[in-house]
């Protein structure tokens, strides 16, 4: 979308909602899955083997869910997203790849989930911290628990936005993003240096009634010379372009300032001394 207007659209996509964002999400989905060690790296093989019905909340263009459906033809995979464009794209990818076991629906995660109690073996939400307001998280997780079968898994993976680099331009852009997120009600902690996306996930699971709650950290090193350097820095260039309407709408930066920082980061990322690490956390629990 050309502007960031969540009050009107009820769409809180921090990076917008466009064809460019769809492509960006597919590529970053693949990078994160690889860096995390797989689609469900924290789950035992026997647990994965028993999965039959899986729901992915905020599925975007379907990257994670389509890979799940491809890996297990017996799996019934359902994805929901607030964006009609994202859902259309996911449906097209499913059709093109012959994945009849994957279906996608338009739905807003800040509303009650339109599924009966105990429908799914696994309910997943991955990297939706830039699309769900902080106040909506506790009721969302309770809904995730409601639609999960007893003994099933509720799983949340979040990323600390931007991570840490030694680029002043990158860190400034990250600070602006977090400042905008605070104004938009997307920040989880009283500190504009971090989104705080990872710190409360286990708390939400506990408060929603989950048991056997566990956590698994991951990191993605996109420093100069690393495996992820080129693909991730290409993604950051796109992200910093897509983030402009959000930064302008929240009043944390001007267009010339954003452009100057984007250009400087493009230079910094080419230096042999460039260092960057992105932090992720998966928290999961069981429905009693």
Q: What is the pLDDT of residues 185-217, one digit of tens each?
A: 998 888 878 888 899 999 999 999 999 999 999
pTM of the entire predicted model: 0.93
Residue with tokens 């994957």: 102
pLDDT confidence of residue 261 = 97
Q: Which pLDDT value is given to residue 89?
A: 92
19-48: pLDDT as tens digits: 667 777 788 889 999 999 999 999 999 999
Closest by alpha carbon to 147, among 125, 107, 104, 115?
115
Question: How confident is the model over 46-71, as a mean pLDDT?
Answer: 95
Question: Which of the four CATH numbers 3.90.1520.10, 3.40.800.10, 3.40.50.150, 3.90.1150.10 does domain 6-286 have?
Answer: 3.40.50.150
CA distance 249 to 21: 18
How high is the pLDDT of residue 124?
A: 98
pLDDT of 234 strictly over 60: yes
Mean pLDDT of 237-253: 91
Q: Does pLDDT of 178 surpass 50?
A: yes
Of 22-31, 217-226, 253-262, the range with the lowest mean pLDDT is 22-31
Mean pLDDT of all residues in 265-282: 96
Per-residue pLDDT tens digits for 111-162: 999 999 999 999 999 999 988 999 999 999 999 999 999 999 999 999 998 7
Q: Give how far Cα 137 sits from Cα of 111, 142, 180, 188, Å.
A: 11, 9, 18, 10
CB under 8 Å, gap of 24 or more: what pairs does 2-6 form? 2/245, 3/245, 3/249, 4/184, 4/245, 4/246, 4/248, 4/249, 4/250, 5/249, 6/184
- Bridge-partner residues for 286, per DSSP? 153, 211
Residue 1: pLDDT band (50, 70, 90) is very low
Say what the pLDDT of residue 18 is: 64
115 close to 85: Cβ distance less than 8 angstroms: no
pLDDT attached to residue 190: 85
Burial of 8 (0-12, 13-18, 19+ CB in 10 A): exposed
Termini Cα distance of the chain: 41
Residues 49-78, mean pLDDT to the nearest whole number: 96
Percent of the chain with pLDDT over 90: 78
The domain locations on the chain are 6-286
> Under a CB-based contact definition with an 8 Å cutoff, are residues 116 and 143 in contact?
no
Grade residue 9 by pLDDT with cuts at 50, 70 and 90: confident
pLDDT, mean over the chain: 93
Residues 210 and 202 sit within 8 Å (Cβ to Cβ): no
Q: Give the three-class secondary structure for 123.
A: strand
């Amino acid at each position: 979308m050309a502007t960031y207007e969540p009050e009107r659209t009820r769409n809180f996509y921090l990076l917008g909602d466009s064809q460019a964002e769809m492509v960006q999400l597919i590529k970053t989905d693949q990078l994160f899955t690889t860096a995390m060690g797989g689609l469900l790296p924290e789950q035992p093989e026997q647990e994965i083997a028993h999965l039959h019905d899986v729901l992915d909340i905020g599925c975007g263009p379907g990257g994670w869910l389509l890979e799940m459906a491809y890996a297990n033809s017996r799996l019934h995979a359902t994805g929901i997203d607030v964006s009609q464009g994202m859902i259309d794209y996911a449906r097209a990818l499913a059709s093109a790849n012959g994945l009849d076991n994957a279906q996608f629906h338009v739905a807003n995660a800040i509303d009650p989930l339109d599924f009966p109690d105990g429908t799914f073996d696994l309910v997943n939400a991955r990297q939706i911290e830039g699309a769900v307001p902080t106040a909506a998280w506790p009721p969302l997780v309770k809904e995730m628990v409601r639609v999960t079968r007893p003994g099933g898994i509720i799983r949340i993976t979040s990323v600390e936005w931007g991570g840490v680099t030694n680029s002043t331009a990158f860190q400034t852009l990250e600070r602006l993003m977090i400042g905008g997120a605070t104004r938009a009600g997307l920040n989880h902690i009283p500190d504009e240096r971090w989104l705080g996306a990872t710190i409360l996930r286990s708390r939400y699971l506990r408060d929603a009634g989950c048991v056997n709650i566990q956590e698994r950290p991951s990191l993605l090193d996109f420093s100069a010379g690393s495996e992820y350097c080129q693909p991730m820095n290409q993604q950051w260039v796109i992200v910093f372009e897509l983030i402009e309407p959000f930064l302008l709408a929240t009043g944390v930066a001007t267009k010339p300032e954003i452009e100057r920082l984007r250009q400087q980061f493009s230079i910094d990322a080419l230096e042999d001394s460039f260092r960057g690490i992105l932090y992720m956390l998966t928290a999961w629990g069981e429905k009693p």
